[in-house]
Amino acid sequence: MAKHRTHSIEFKRQVAQEFLAGETLHGFAKRHDICRNLIRVWVQKYETGDFDEDAEAADLLQQYEARIAALERLVGKQALEFEFLKGAVKSTPRPKSARLHPSLPAPGPQHRRRMPADGDRTLDLLRPTDRRA
């Protein structure tokens, strides 16, 4: 069964540099337990400069991940503060003079009014009609 490994960009760059320095492909592949074709691919990418772009992308990805982690910590901290303040507001009694507008009712439990049943005005749309003639 084939081994599926991921190698860092630094390792790939190092392999390509050592191979280009004059080491044999067969011996190098055997020493690092890497497929010879994979070494050829890495050398080709090294020569075209693809590893430089990959390294920049990896660095940028690490920066983004660090920023995301910092923002997630900040959101968690703010959520805790919000819950704490919400609990403090609920436990503090509000004075009657704290109404927003004189026409508004005082804050507190509100009771919903029940709508009267409108049985007299309903339409009998479901009444069967007799169309036999």
* CA gap 23, 46 in Å, rounded: 16
Least trusted range by pLDDT, from 16-20, 56-60, 89-93, 96-100? 96-100
pLDDT at 78: 95
Contacts of 54 (CB under 8 A, 6+ apart): 9
Percent of the chain with pLDDT over 70: 68
* pLDDT of amino acid 67: 94
Confidence band for 114, pLDDT divided at 50, 70 and 90: low
**Most confident of the following: 18-27, 33-42, 94-103, 119-128:** 33-42
